[in-house]
């Protein structure tokens, strides 16, 4: 059994940013933003924090001019 993951505010903001960029594509969020986390941990954190901080997880309009080529995938503070 895994220990409960404690998320820092910076990680929550990073998760919200990843969500706004790629939506609910948990596999992509996991591989590009949170490689050490399991997809279930990321998804559960999203639902938990969306309930607690709904404004932070507001999705931009679909394809609002941001494509995957615009995302800095090399920046990953949680490796």
| Per-residue pLDDT reduced to its tens digit, 22-66 | 999 999 999 999 999 999 999 999 999 999 988 888 765 454 445
> Where is mean pLDDT largest: 2-6, 20-24, 27-31, 65-69?
27-31
Rounded CA-CA distance 50/56 in Å is: 7
Is the pTM higher than 0.85? The answer reads no
Split at pLDDT 50, 70, 90, the class of 77 is: low
Residue pair 44/38 in contact by the 8 Å Cβ criterion: no
**Local structure of residue 79 (DSSP, 8 states):** -
């Amino acid at each position: 059994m895994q220990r409960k993951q404690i998320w820092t505010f910076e990680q929550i903001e990073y998760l919200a940013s990843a969500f706004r960029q790629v939506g609910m594509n948990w596999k992509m969020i996991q591989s590009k933003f949170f490689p050490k986390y399991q997809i279930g941990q990321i998804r559960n954190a999203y639902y938990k924090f969306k309930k607690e901080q709904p404004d932070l997880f507001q999705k931009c309009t679909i394809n609002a001019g941001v494509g995957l080529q615009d995302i800095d995938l090399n920046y990953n503070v949680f490796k």
